[in-house]
Amino acid sequence: MQARTVIARQQSKRCRSNLEVVRLLRRRCAPPRNDGGFCKGVLLCFVCMFVFLPSNFSAAEMIYKLDGRVTKVEEAERILYVEFKHPATEEVTEKKFKVSETAGFKHIKKLSDLKKGDLVSVDYLDHGEELVAIYIAHIPLKEIAVTTPAEVTKTLLKLRESE
């Protein structure tokens, strides 16, 4: 408020009309106009990020998951062989995984705890020629529920009758 009166006094000393003083106050006290400078700056920052940042920062690698049976473990080379049956084609395939030093484990403490025939779920990265396992979960046989189609039908009929 005091700044306005000081400006007004200075202007009146110069013999300006009241209308000119009001216009001057509006210009000096008005909020700055947004001419798009901020938006242009943000856009420029994003363009620079995409141009100058390395490509490995632009997107995370895709993590794949595979469930199957262990066929062989080479602990010295940290290699795990897993065979799985493709759900659509029923084709049995064996995959070779390089187990990273930082790989996580569930229900086992180390790679040597896995034996031939164990069921595992492997999270891995595809690095072209090499598949790198980053997480291996051992699936204990006691956790697997085996049901027959007849048991499923019987359970569904019981549920329908109870409704």
Question: What pLDDT is attached to residue 64?
Answer: 86
Domain housing 36: 2-52
Residue 70 Cα distances to 6, 50, 83, angstroms? 86, 42, 6
Residue 37, domain member (yes or no): yes
Q: Residue 122 is encoded by which pair of tokens?
A: 């492997």
Domain identity same for 87 and 127: yes
Domain identity same for 67 and 128: yes
Report the pLDDT averaged over residues 70-80: 89
Residue 160, domain member (yes or no): no
Contacts of 112 by beta carbon, 8 Å cutoff, 6+ apart: 73, 75
Report the pLDDT averaged over residues 55-78: 79
pLDDT one-digit tens code per residue, 105-157: 888 888 888 888 888 888 898 888 888 888 888 888 776 666 677 777 888 88
Residue 127, domain member (yes or no): yes
Domain identity same for 89 and 115: yes
Domain identity same for 75 and 124: yes
Kindly indicate the confidence band of residue 87, based on its pLDDT and cuts at 50, 70 and 90: confident
Domain identity same for 80 and 138: yes
- Please say if the pLDDT value at position 16 is more than 70: no
Question: What pLDDT is attached to residue 110?
Answer: 82
Q: What's the rounded Cα separation, in Å, for the pair 95 and 93?
A: 7
Burial environment of residue 137 by CB neighbours within 10 A (0 to 12, 13 to 18, 19 or more): middle
Question: Does pTM surpass 0.75?
Answer: no
Q: What's the rounded Cα separation, in Å, for the pair 110 and 97?
A: 15
DSSP states of 142-153: GG-----HHHHH
Domain identity same for 69 and 129: yes
Closest CA to 29 of 6, 45, 51, 13: 6
Domain identity same for 81 and 131: yes
Domain identity same for 28 and 94: no
Domain identity same for 84 and 134: yes
- Please say if the pLDDT value at position 63 is more than 80: yes
Residue 88 Cα distances to 64, 84, 92, 93, 152, angstroms? 17, 12, 11, 13, 22
Domain identity same for 37 and 78: no
Domain identity same for 86 and 123: yes
| Poorest-pLDDT segment among 50-59, 82-91, 136-145, 150-159 | 50-59
Kindly indicate the confidence band of residue 31, based on its pLDDT and cuts at 50, 70 and 90: low
Question: What pLDDT is attached to residue 82?
Answer: 92
Question: What pLDDT is attached to residue 42?
Answer: 66
Residue 156, domain member (yes or no): no
User: How many structural domains comprise the chain?
Assistant: 2
Whichever domain contains 80, its CATH number is 2.40.50.320
**Number of other CB atoms surrounding residue 120 within 10 Å:** 23
Kindly indicate the confidence band of residue 58, based on its pLDDT and cuts at 50, 70 and 90: very low
Residue 104, domain member (yes or no): yes
Domain identity same for 46 and 74: no
Burial 4-29 (b: 16+ CB within 10 A, else e): eeeebeebeeeeeeeeebeeeeeeee
